[in-house]
Amino acid sequence: MSNLIEAAKSGNKRDTLIALRDILAKTIQECESGRDMASNTKRLMEVMSELEALPDPETKKISKHDRLKTKFENR
């Protein structure tokens, strides 16, 4: 599990959200309070949405020219 403090200090939003996601998931798994589980689950879903909205660093960046070229080649 990533260290949330180190991730936050790094300034890297993706790493911070990943560390927070992992902590929330662990907290939910170990939770015995229905109220706490509900609020942590809601926050986990928000963090997951924020992560999905960030650009994926693993995805190859494609130029606008290459996207258009591919689009017209596939017609």
pTM above the 0.75 mark? no
Closest CA to 47 of 24, 28, 30: 24
- State whether the Cα torsion 44-47-52-57 is positive or negative: negative
Dump pLDDT digits (tens) for 20-57. Answer: 999 999 999 999 888 899 999 999 999 999 999 998 77
For residue 45, what are the contacts with CB-CB under 8 A and spacing of at least 6?
none
Say what the pLDDT of residue 55 is. Answer: 84
Say what the pLDDT of residue 39 is. Answer: 95
Is 1 a residue whose pLDDT tops 50? no
CA–CA distance, 24 with 15 (Å, rounded to integer) = 14
For residue 55, what are the contacts with CB-CB under 8 A and spacing of at least 6?
none
